[in-house]
Amino acid sequence: MLNLPVGILKKFSRWKTKHLSHQQFIMLLSGIIGFAAGLGAVVIKNLTHYIQDLLEGKLIANYHHAFYFIFPVIGLALTLLIIKYGFKKKVGHGIPSTLYAISKRQGIMRSFQMYASILTAPLTVGFGGSVGLEGPTVATGASLGSNISRLFKMNQSSRTLLIGCAAAGAMSSIFKAPIAAIIFAIEVFSLDLTLVSMVPLLIASVSAVLTSYFFFGPDTLLPFKLTDQFNISEVPFYIILGILSAFCSIYFTSAYFRIHSFFGRFKSPVVRLLIGGIGLGILVYFIPPLYGEGYNVINNLLAENYLEALGSNLFSEFMDNIWVVIALLAGLVIFKIIATSLTFGAGGVGGIFAPVLFMGSALGHCFALVVNNFSLLRHPISISSFTMVGMAGLMAGVLHAPLTAIFLIAELTGGYELFIPLMITAAISFMITNRFQPHSVYTMELAQRGELLTHDKDKTVLTLLNIQRIIEKNFIPIQIDKNLGDVIHEGVIKSSRNIFPVVDENSNFMGIILLDDIRPVMFDQSMYDEVKVSDIMQSAPAIIDIRKDRTQEIMKKFQESDAWNLPVVKDDKYIGFISKSKLLTAYRQKLIEVTV
């Protein structure tokens, strides 16, 4: 956590309490966090470009292409060394690690995350790792927002809002698209769309974009101005592009997780480094556009300069054939996610936002070339427009953020002429993808573990509950080989509870004994030796498995069983009980924390 001298912190706290309301203080912090997130984006971007200029310039000007094979391995090895011997902690993949912190760590992020990505992401991308810098930038800003909120002892609701402000600031600074950045924070981080949240997000976004203008001037990642007008006759082709974007999004997510699962088989980081690094090196050697983020490729495609975008490759002498160009563009769509997944598998640090834009631009450009060369319309369609809309289609499908996709591309094009095509393609891509993959790449793993926060307030509160804290352990277990006398002397006399869990010699849960069931015979001492525990115990109405059952399933078990206390097991061994009253009390307390 951030550390300030105690005296200064106390004086500031007294001044804040006297002069600022809570909401005013949030607004002040949102501006500071927006500026810091924008500054983080500047640092990460400049470090990456410095490394790339160094490698592509004086060092190996005459041997650059030959070194494509080895550069990614060097960058990934340096990243691994810094993580292993410098931080000695795992550096997460940007946005997914931030979402995990919000859902399971109450928005608390470790202080080293404020600078971890600043050091590791530029090495990964600068040396040719086929990932983006947006995720690490968001994680850097989010960690800063989290630690600032901890410094001033803010509750979880305020902490989550400030993390969202950092995310909006990072995206606003990178793309100079403040409106899309706000929508991104709301869509991806499931923030409430209220005036209380909108104003801080707005302040953070503006603060960050001003920071970007101060350092970079009017330059943008995608300097493109829309010149072609929307034509109603192109609508069927935007619909087809939406369908293609959906299938491409499904392929993206499937390939990403399959390769991730493949690397999970290897415990040694060195083995993962060698497999991923060499695999990536081979890919970028034969397909140079896969090297690094790929924004130069996107810009060349937007300028309809596909020869520059594809660069020199094995098929350079056949580039005068448009169908070879189309095939190569399709290859970029297919192999970019493989290169990205290999980078992650090898231990690289980065994000998937840039790869999504890369694949979307190649898909849109390739589709437009096919349509024009088949002469399906009297007038050729705008290749640059379809290139931009293709990016929105992939964003909507892969990231499950259709509104972000629409507004980001609209802002980047400097106008809203493409608004209707963007809405058509993004909506179709999102609807189809959501049918087969209900969660994005960011949220898939969290959703599978039942740890994903959504805009559904009830589900959010249930997800945030820490079940371990409400397990009661003041119940006295009874061995199954005992008799009624043992139950009375070892259980009833010593316990204030009316339920007794029954376990075997290995502490495996077997059932329960209710005080109401033994009350008729508990005073008849002649039955103490005769009646066995197995005679008077019964099955529990439901059992909570702490490893498998999430809060929503636990609530459902209480509702269906109509019980007030349910036993909790872990690997079939008894560990305690959860009471309905304590669970509901914890739910109400968490609801207050989240909404205040």
* pLDDT for the residue numbered 470: 83
* pLDDT for the residue numbered 362: 94
The residue count for the chain: 596
Beta-carbon-side half-sphere exposure of residue 540 (alpha carbons within 13 Å) = 25
CATH code 1.10.3080.10 region(s) in the chain: 6-216, 232-454
CA dist 164 and 161 (Å) reads 5
CATH code 3.10.580.10 region(s) in the chain: 461-595
**Residue range 6-216, CATH number:** 1.10.3080.10
Inter-residue contact 494 to 470 (CB < 8 Å): no
The tens-digit pLDDT sequence of the chain (596 residues) is 555 565 676 676 676 667 777 788 888 889 999 999 999 999 999 999 888 888 776 555 455 555 667 888 888 899 899 988 887 777 766 777 777 777 667 677 877 778 888 889 999 998 888 898 888 888 888 888 888 888 877 777 788 888 889 889 999 999 998 999 999 988 887 776 677 778 999 999 999 999 999 888 887 778 777 777 888 888 999 999 999 999 999 999 999 999 988 998 888 889 999 999 899 988 888 888 888 888 889 999 988 887 888 877 777 777 778 888 899 999 999 999 999 999 998 888 888 899 999 999 999 999 999 998 887 677 888 898 999 999 999 999 999 999 999 999 988 877 678 889 999 999 999 999 999 988 877 777 665 555 555 545 555 555 566 777 888 888 888 888 888 888 888 878 888 788 889 998 888 998 888 888 787 777 777 777 778 888 888 888 888 888 888 777 888 888 888 888 889 998 889 988 988 888 877 777 766 565 54
* pLDDT for the residue numbered 438: 83
The two most distant CA atoms of the chain are separated, in Å, by: 102
Beta-carbon-side half-sphere exposure of residue 137 (alpha carbons within 13 Å) = 35
Spatial strand order in the sheet of 499-503 = 478-479, 499-503, 509-514
The structural architecture, per CATH, of the domain 232-454 is: Orthogonal Bundle (1.10)
- For 483-516, b where at least 16 C-beta lie within 10 A, e where not — what string? bbebbbebbbeeeeeebbbbbeeebebbbbbeee
**Residue range 461-595, CATH number:** 3.10.580.10
Inter-residue contact 367 to 390 (CB < 8 Å): yes
* φ/ψ bin of 94: left (φ > 0), alpha (ψ from -120 to 50), beta (otherwise): left
* pLDDT for the residue numbered 61: 47
Determine the 3-state secondary structure of 248 from DSSP.
Answer: helix
Q: Which run of H or of E encompasses 331?
A: helix 322-345
Residue 578 β-bridge partners = 566
* pLDDT for the residue numbered 93: 67
Inter-residue contact 424 to 235 (CB < 8 Å): yes
Q: Model pTM?
A: 0.78
CA dist 245 and 391 (Å) reads 9
Residue 50 β-bridge partners = none
**Residue 463 CA to chain centroid, in angstroms?**
16
